[in-house]
Structures are given as C-alpha cells and as structure tokens.
C-alpha cells in the first residue's frame, strides 16, 4: 500500500457526461501528479500541483481540469467525455522536495460508453 | 519537449536468465531516474532509482546504470523469476517537475 488513495476505483459513464476523480496523497506529501494510462499504453503526464498551486502541465485536454484543495487532496474533472477518454487515471504524490520518488495510487478505471 | 524512449517494448526470457531494459532521455537537466514495476490492475511501484551523481546502483537482483554523457540508463534484472513478469517503466525528472515516463516494457519470464 503506497498510502495514496484514489476513488472511485471503477466508473462507467456515457459520452458527453462529466466525472470527478479524487485523490488523497500520502500523509505529509505536498505534490500531487495526475497521469493517464490508456490500454497497453504508457503513463501520460497530465498535471502537477504543489501545495495548492499548479506547478507543471503536460498533455492535458481543455475538457479536463484539476485542483488541489487546502487539505491537499486533489480532484481531476473530466467533462464532455468521449470514448477515447476511457483509461486508467493515476494519481501520485511526493513530499515536493527535489529528487523524491513519486508514489502511485491504485488508479481509477474510467470506461466511457 | 522532454521525452524518454524505452526499449524493448516486450521481452521474454527464460527463468534464471538476465533481462536488460534500456532508456534514453532527451533533457540533459534531468537528474533523477526511477524505475517502476506495474502488475496487472495495479499502480506502478518503485523498484529502484538512481540520481545523476551516481553511475550505478544495485539492490539484490536488480541494478541500474546511468550514462549521463549518452543520456542512457538501463535496468538489469539477474536470475529472473516468474514473479518478475510485469510491465516495467523508466522515468526521468528534473527536481520534482514532470516525471516523464517511458512507454513501458512487458517482461515475461518463462518457467
């Protein structure tokens, strides 16, 4: 158990809908990272937050947004969902200090039908 | 932009043999290189990492080597076992920014 908690574990929704994925980082970690993993694909970096502020942005679609709250949990919002958005979405966290490992949660499986 | 290439995409070895996975990174400012193992339906888990001021690191049957000049780093698994079968990802980062992952290697250890 990495200490990173993601909910929900599984989610099935229809095209055009909006979903919110939630992540609770490890205790004491200030940085949260979101990654997307499509079937048999690598880990695509979406966005990073540090202590509530956006720190780095990857290939995140405009239909997607994220935020990190004062209690350090983070949410990834996916809207106007398309079939191609079906993927495993991972959250990872680390203390935010240089050279620290990032620890992954178990992921949220999103299926868009 | 930053990029990490990983090869091979699939690798099959006989139990007891060695496995080597190679990665190349593009950003010369990268200074931290972790390796992750992902089992089916689970999140990636760190197995070993190396920092840019070190050329090699070992942990039991696993070792990682880094060539900063060539911007290459490699994972070596010796005496492979069936439980080593998984997908392995390399990554590169600058400080705590944007951990960029390779495309993954599916390792199959044949009993």
Distance between CA B66 and CA B25 in Å, rounded? 11
Distance between CA A1 and CA A11 in Å, rounded? 21
Q: Does B74 touch chain A (CB under 8 A)?
A: no
pLDDT reported for residue A2: 86
Instruction: Please state, rounded to an integer, the average pLDDT across all residues of chain B.
Output: 93
pLDDT reported for residue B96: 64
C-alpha distances out from residue B22 to A33, B49, B91, B102, Å: 25, 14, 11, 10
Distance between CA A6 and CA B98 in Å, rounded? 20
pLDDT reported for residue A98: 63
The candidate with the shortest Cα–Cα distance to B105, out of B87, B90, B93, B80, is B87
pLDDT reported for residue B25: 95
pLDDT reported for residue B1: 60
Cβ pairs A/B, distance under 8 A: 60
pLDDT in tens, A9-53: 999 999 999 999 999 999 999 999 999 998 767 899 999 999 999
Higher pLDDT among residues B106 and A98, named by residue:
B106
pLDDT reported for residue A60: 94
Task: Please tell me which residue of chain A has the smallest CA distance to B30.
Answer: A99
C-alpha distances out from residue A65 to A31, B41, B79, Å: 16, 25, 45
Residue entry with tokens 């958005």: A85
- State how beta strands B86-94 and B97-101 pair: antiparallel
Which residue numbers in chain B have pLDDT < 70? 1, 95-97
pLDDT reported for residue A54: 94
Q: Which of B31, B49, B89 sits opposite A42 (nearest CB)?
A: B89
Task: Please tell me which residue of chain B has the smallest CA distance to A89.
Answer: B43
pLDDT reported for residue B92: 92
Distance between CA A75 and CA A93 in Å, rounded? 13
pLDDT reported for residue A101: 85
């Amino acid at each position: 158990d990495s200490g990173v908690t993601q909910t929900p574990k599984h989610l099935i929704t229809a095209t055009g809908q909006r979903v919110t994925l939630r992540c609770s980082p490890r205790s004491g970690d200030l940085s949260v990272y979101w990654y997307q993993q499509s079937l048999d694909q690598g880990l695509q970096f979406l966005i990073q937050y540090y202590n509530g502020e956006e720190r780095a942005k990857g290939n995140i679609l405009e239909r997607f947004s994220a935020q990190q709250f004062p209690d350090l949990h983070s949410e990834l919002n996916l809207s106007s969902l398309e079939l191609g958005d079906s993927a495993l979405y991972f959250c990872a966290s680390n203390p935010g200090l240089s050279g620290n490992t990032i620890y992954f949660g178990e992921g949220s499986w999103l299926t868009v039908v | 932009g930053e990029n990490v290439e990983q090869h091979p995409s699939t690798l099959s070895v006989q139990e007891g043999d060695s496995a080597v996975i190679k990665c190349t990174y593009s950003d010369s400012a990268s200074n931290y290189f972790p390796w992750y193992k992902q089992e089916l339906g689970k999140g990636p888990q760190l197995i070993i990492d190396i920092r840019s001021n070190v050329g090699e690191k070992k942990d039991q049957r696993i070792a990682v080597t880094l060539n900063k000049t060539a911007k290459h780093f490699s994972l070596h698994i010796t005496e492979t076992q069936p439980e080593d079968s998984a997908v392995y990802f390399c990554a590169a980062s600058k400080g705590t920014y944007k951990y960029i992952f390779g495309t993954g290697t599916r390792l199959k250890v044949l009993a």
